[in-house]
């Protein structure tokens, strides 16, 4: 899977999953923090929704809070996790 294509796909899925109609994929920098105020400012409920999306759409699971924190650091981190899980 092409990494750039996956990044754009993830951005679209984040918008859809979290119901962010005012946000476009271009509004989400690939390396911006997802859960900090200077990024998307997501919260723990959003994290649960994203975990479910990854499990459903990509067939991968996240083991524990520590792994989740690194996976959801940014869209880049999410893409890297998906690509490494598919090997």
For residue range 66-86, list pLDDT tens digits in order: 788 899 999 999 999 999 987
Predicted TM-score (pTM) of the model is 0.90
pLDDT in tens, 12-34: 999 999 999 899 999 999 999 99
- Give the separation between CA 50 and CA 67, rounded to whole angstroms: 13
Which DSSP symbol is given to 43?
-
Domain boundaries, the chain: 3-85
| Architecture (CATH level 2) of domain 3-85 | Orthogonal Bundle (1.10)
Question: Is the distance from CB of 71 to CB of 62 less than 8 angstroms?
Answer: yes
């Amino acid at each position: 899977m092409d990494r750039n294509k996956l990044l754009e796909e993830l951005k679209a899925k984040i918008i859809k999953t979290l119901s962010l109609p005012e946000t476009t994929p271009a509004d989400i920098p690939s390396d911006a923090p997802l859960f900090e105020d200077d990024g998307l400012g997501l919260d723990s409920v959003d994290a649960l929704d994203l975990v479910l999306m990854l499990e459903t759409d990509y067939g991968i699971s996240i083991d524990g809070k520590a792994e989740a924190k690194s996976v959801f650091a940014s869209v880049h981190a999410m893409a890297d996790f998906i690509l490494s899980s598919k090997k």
